[in-house]
Amino acid sequence: MALIVDVFSAREDNFGYLVHDEASGRTAAIDAPEAAAIRAALSRRGWSLSDILITHHHIDHVEAIAELKEAFGAKVTGPAEEADKIEGLDVLVRDGDVVSLGESRFDVIKTPGHTLGHIVFHDAANGHLFSADALFSLGVGRMFEGTPGPMWEGVKRLRALPDETLVYCGHEYTQSNARFALSIDPDNAALQARAATVEALRKAGKPTIPFSLGEDKKANPFLRADAPELARHYGLDGSDPAAVFAAIRKGKDTF
């Protein structure tokens, strides 16, 4: 049986996700940004919360853990490398581990950079990637911890997933990401088309997620840090793609 994904808004610009395993009836929240928003989504669906899967320690992803645990007795799974920064974790996972939700399985992939212990959850059977702040539509998260090299390696691991993968990220930043991407990769036809689609979606009040990983591979400059034209834009011809990735990230930080 399938995994149902429910998408809703939380806080100012967070996305919230409930994933429901039909076979077992178990439901997990991907991160815990806002208790009221998660409770409302559960009520609308008629589901009860059995699990919470945490990607990283930032407050806008963990703030509701305590309230949701108390209300539902939910089991909380999160990154072992950030256990000292996240209150309420019951199960600690690392890169390569598998998290079960009834009959559904989520591969844990480490994606350092936004935070050192950031992880994402990949549902390979159904083609879903819950990327939190490691990968956005047309962007990636700010590099608050660590260095560009490991962050680029993590991004490449996500890029290697199948094109048909649908990505559910942590925030609605796509419009600003598109504007920046066009400023450094203006001749990219795939990016131009994607930016137009994004503008239409936002004008209609619709979210830009989930998005196709295959489309993002063609348009997201952070996934294209090894493209010659982006190296050329920064005067880094022949340089290590990690250096180009760092230049792109610095450019976005000051855009």
How far apart, in whole angstroms, are the C-alpha atoms of residue 151 and residue 112?
5
Give the number of other CB atoms < 10 A from CB of residue 199. 15
CA dihedral 149→155→156→161, nearest 10 degrees, is 160
| Contact (CB, 8 A) for 158 and 135 | yes
State yes or no: 114 annotated in a binding site: yes
Has 128 been labeled as part of a binding site? Answer: no
Q: Measured between alpha carbons, how far is residue 145 from residues 118, 142, 251 in Å?
A: 10, 9, 17
Rg of the Cα atoms in the chain: 18
Q: What span, in angstroms and rounded, lies between the C-alpha atoms of 247 and 221?
A: 11
Is 118 annotated among the ligand-binding residues?
Answer: no
CA-wise closest residue to 168 among 41, 8, 2: 8
**68 class by beta-carbon count within 10 Å (0-12 exposed, 13-18 middle, 19+ buried):** buried
| Residue of 159, 151, 133 whose CA lies nearest to 60 | 133
Annotated binding residues for Zn(2+), written as ranges, equal 56, 58, 60-61, 114, 133, 171
Annotated binding residues, written as ranges, equal 56, 58, 60-61, 114, 133, 171
